[in-house]
Amino acid sequence: MARGGINKAVVQKARQTLLARGINPSIDAVRVELGNTGSKSTISRYLKELEGSSPAVAPASRERLGEALSGMVQTLLDQLMEEGQEAISEATAAFALERTRLEAQILELTSALAKVERQSATQHAALEVQSAELATAQSSLQAELTRNAGLRQRCSDLEALVVEKDKHIQSLEEKHVQARGALEHYREAAKEQRDQDHRKHESQLHEMQVEQRKLRETIAVKQDESTRLNRDNERLLGEARQQAKHLHTQESLVQSLNNQVETLRQGEAKTAGVAEHLNEQISALREEVKALHKAAAIAELREQETVATITSLQNENEQLRRARPVESAPGEGSKASPQVENQQGNEKAKNSKRPRR
């Protein structure tokens, strides 16, 4: 089948050129003149048609051509061949130069692509490391939240214990008031009755002293627990600061990744898919960082609540120490000592200044 562009006019032109050169227009000669294009059967058919339409014209035409015309035609033909050869040489040189430039560009693009792939692999590994660190931070934060819940439960237990102690102290105060009323009643009784009441009061006073010692021990235990809670709170605050520093480091790494992604965007169009994938991972990392910020804020808020609770417990412990019952004895009577009277006066003054619950 003939190639595109090979037709009867082209074959006729090649035939006339060969005849003008004095060459026999055979099938092979015409095909060579056409640049080794076209099938021999097609060229043969066209040649037969041309020979049938103008038989034996070429020899007669060559005989009628003058020498001057033949020389002119030969000169023009040589000039056309030289110009064609120059155009072909220039096109060949330009093609070789363009091919060299394209090959160098291909090598450069291949090197850039390999570099981008290495950077992408490095960034992917860094993102995996960051993901592992974020998972570790989340697990640590969950452990701290669990520990804070335990601290809140212990604070609740301490509050319940304080309420119970307050009730017990109030009961002791009521007993003390009853004892004072009984003492006022006993002052009007006989001396023997006062002695008996005095012994009974001493017994009650001994019980109150025992109760006071117990209260002192309880307060000491509470102070120890408060101290330990303060230490735990300081440790939690230190760990929260460490988490904040870690989050700041992750934000710096995210900013560095953003800069690298911006540099990759300015590269070749073939790396756009990789940059988009990195942007998605960075967005996910930002969301995780925001979640960590929120969790850290919640942990700090809970720690502040724990500090407030501990402060309240310390205040209540201070009130317990101030509200401890003072040793007292009958103020009047021949056998009451001045020290007992002074203690009773101090107790009255403290009872008058004691806040009502």
Please give the pLDDT value at position 264: 65
**Weakest-pLDDT range from 64-78, 115-129, 193-207, 273-287:** 64-78
For residue 34, count CB atoms less than 10 angstroms from its CB and return exposed for 0-12, middle for 13-18, buried for 19 or more.
Answer: middle
- Rounded Cα–Cα distance for residues 106 and 163 (Å): 83
Please give the pLDDT value at position 265: 65
- Rounded Cα–Cα distance for residues 219 and 316 (Å): 10
**What single string gives the DSSP state of each residue in 41-96?**
HHHHHHHHHHHHHSTTHHHHHHHHS-HHHHHHHHHHHHHHHHHHHHHHHHHHHHHH
Please give the pLDDT value at position 183: 75
pLDDT band at 154 (very low <50, low <70, confident <90, very high): confident
50 lies in which domain range?
A: 8-106
Q: Do 51 and 182 reside in the same domain of the chain?
A: no
Please give the pLDDT value at position 102: 92
Please give the pLDDT value at position 268: 63
- Rounded Cα–Cα distance for residues 111 and 102 (Å): 14
Number of structural domains found in the chain: 2
For residue 341, count CB atoms less than 10 angstroms from its CB and return exposed for 0-12, middle for 13-18, buried for 19 or more.
Answer: middle
pLDDT band at 74 (very low <50, low <70, confident <90, very high): confident
Q: Do 70 and 164 reside in the same domain of the chain?
A: no
Q: Do 151 and 99 reside in the same domain of the chain?
A: no
Residue 338 in this model has a pLDDT that exceeds 50:
no
Please give the pLDDT value at position 161: 86
Give me the mean pLDDT over the 270-297 stretch: 76
In a domain, 202, yes or no: yes
Please give the pLDDT value at position 115: 92
In a domain, 124, yes or no: no
Please give the pLDDT value at position 347: 53
Residue 63 or residue 164, greater confidence = 164
Highest mean pLDDT among 23-32, 56-65, 78-87, 321-330: 23-32
Q: Are 30 and 15 in contact (CB under 8 A)?
A: yes
Please give the pLDDT value at position 329: 44
Tens digit of each residue's pLDDT (9 = 90 or more) over 81-139: 778 778 888 888 888 898 899 999 999 999 999 999 999 889 989 899 988 888 888 88
Please give the pLDDT value at position 339: 47
Q: Do 172 and 248 reside in the same domain of the chain?
A: yes
Residue type present at position 300? E
Q: Are 19 and 61 in contact (CB under 8 A)?
A: yes
Q: Do 222 and 333 reside in the same domain of the chain?
A: yes
Please give the pLDDT value at position 357: 39
Q: What share of the chain is helix, strand, coil (3-state, %, to 5)?
A: 85, 0, 15
CB atoms within 10 A of CB 48: 10
Tens digit of each residue's pLDDT (9 = 90 or more) over 196-210: 777 887 888 888 888
When the pLDDT of each residue in the chain is averaged and rounded to a whole number, the result is: 77
Please give the pLDDT value at position 323: 80
In a domain, 49, yes or no: yes
Q: Do 311 and 237 reside in the same domain of the chain?
A: yes
In a domain, 277, yes or no: yes
pTM for the whole thing? 0.23
Residue 182 in this model has a pLDDT that exceeds 90:
no
Cα–Cα distance list, 209 to 37, 45, 205, 213, 351 (Å): 128, 139, 6, 6, 17
Residue 287 in this model has a pLDDT that exceeds 70:
yes
Please give the pLDDT value at position 200: 82
Q: Are 230 and 306 in contact (CB under 8 A)?
A: no
Please give the pLDDT value at position 71: 66
Residue 330 or residue 35, greater confidence = 35
pLDDT band at 325 (very low <50, low <70, confident <90, very high): low
Q: Do 81 and 162 reside in the same domain of the chain?
A: no
Those residues whose C-beta lies under 8 Å from the C-beta of residue 97, and which sit 6 or more positions away, are none
Q: Do 166 and 245 reside in the same domain of the chain?
A: yes
Domain boundary, last residue among 106, 127, 160: 106
Q: Do 49 and 196 reside in the same domain of the chain?
A: no
Q: Do 276 and 167 reside in the same domain of the chain?
A: yes
